[in-house]
Amino acid sequence: MSEETDALIFEAPLGSDLYDQAVHLREAVLRAPLGLEVSPEERLDDTVRQHFCAVSSGAVVGTVSLRPFDEVTLHLKQMAVSEEKRNTHIGAKLLAFAEDWGTQAGFRLMIVDARVGVEGFYIKHGYTREGGPFERYTIPHVRVTKRLR
């Protein structure tokens, strides 16, 4: 049974303490299990993304980044939720926030390159699978997309 989260979503400006905590979280959740670290190329890419995090009891427990793909398309990247806070709807809350932010910023399409095995989360939230699997960071991914309101 899942519990509801009391997490609040905040922007995590580049170089801020929230941003640093978000990078630490995504490294722990997305890179360390693969024996990788957040690369200098990813840090450079961070400079052109909007970063948001979920904070609960003073700690960053979720993170997501958004990067314009083109004038109408937004690319959701680096979504991660701390292991102890999974199944508390933080991921759904971050996703809804990202979609609302994108809609308000004038984007009409969200794309996500999801790890194979978690694409069901996005499909449950209205995304559609596009094409077959491809490899990124040594593991298979699939692209999912959703028209924004």
Reduced 3-state DSSP string for 75-138:
EEEEEEECHHHCCCCHHHHHHHHHHHHHHHCCCCEEEEEEECCCHHHHHHCCCEEEEEEEEECC
Residues 6+ positions from 30 with CB-CB distance below 8 Å: 78, 80, 137
Measured distance CA(128)–CA(133) in Å, rounded: 14
Domain count, the chain: 1
Residues 6+ positions from 40 with CB-CB distance below 8 Å: none
The predicted structure's pLDDT at residue 2: 42
Domain that holds residue 103: 8-147
Residue 21 lies in a domain: yes
Q: Rg of the Cα trace of the chain? A: 14
Whether the CB-CB separation of 75 and 66 falls below 8 Å is answered with: yes
The predicted structure's pLDDT at residue 4: 52
Residue 24 lies in a domain: yes
Residue 2 lies in a domain: no
Measured distance CA(106)–CA(67) in Å, rounded: 13
Instruction: Give the domain CATH number at 137.
Output: 3.40.630.30
In the chain, which stretches have pLDDT less than 70? 1-5
Residue 3 lies in a domain: no
Q: Read off the tokens for 23.
A: 């990078």
